[in-house]
Amino acid sequence: MRGISVKSIARHVYNRNCTFFSQPDFREIHVYVQAFLLRNSKSAHSLVEKTGVRGYYRLNTSGSADARHLMLDFQHQRDGTEKTEESTVKEDLSLDLFA
């Protein structure tokens, strides 16, 4: 898994902070995001981790409970919906237009 680049994360943060009345400086946001990622990716239990490729980061799902909480669990969701589909009886709700 490759991860997301610092530039992509900074662009996302920039777009989320742009409003009709306020336009922040992209360079300032990029520097802040870069410093945040460097500072918060040093521990084995941090939320983000380096990928081995310079400038790319990903969620640390193996060491951080917070990052695991952010991940979606599709297997659990799929098992729950299959049970409800089997238990409900499908009835024909179409209109008889040509009767």
pLDDT of residue 46: 86
The answer to whether residue 37 is domain-embedded is yes
Decide if 59 is inside a domain: yes
Whether residue 91 lies inside any domain: the answer is no
Decide the pairing of beta strands 48-50 and 56-59: antiparallel
Residue predicted with more confidence, 89 or 31: 31
Mean pLDDT of the chain: 81
On whether residue 71 sits in a domain, the answer given is yes
In the prediction, which pLDDT does 47 show? Answer: 85
Percent of the chain residues topping a pLDDT of 70: 73
Q: Specify the range with the lowest mean pLDDT, choosing from 28-37, 39-48, 56-65, 88-97.
A: 88-97
| pTM, 2 dp | 0.62
CA dist., res. 16 & res. 69, Å (int): 22
- Residue 89 domain-assigned? no
List the domain range (segments joined by +) for residue 15: 4-75
Grade residue 8 by pLDDT with cuts at 50, 70 and 90.
Answer: very high
Of residues 43 and 92, more confidently modeled: 43
Relative to beta strand 48-50, strand 4-5 is: unpaired
How many independent structural domains does the chain possess?
Answer: 1
Answer yes or no: is 22 within a domain. Answer: yes
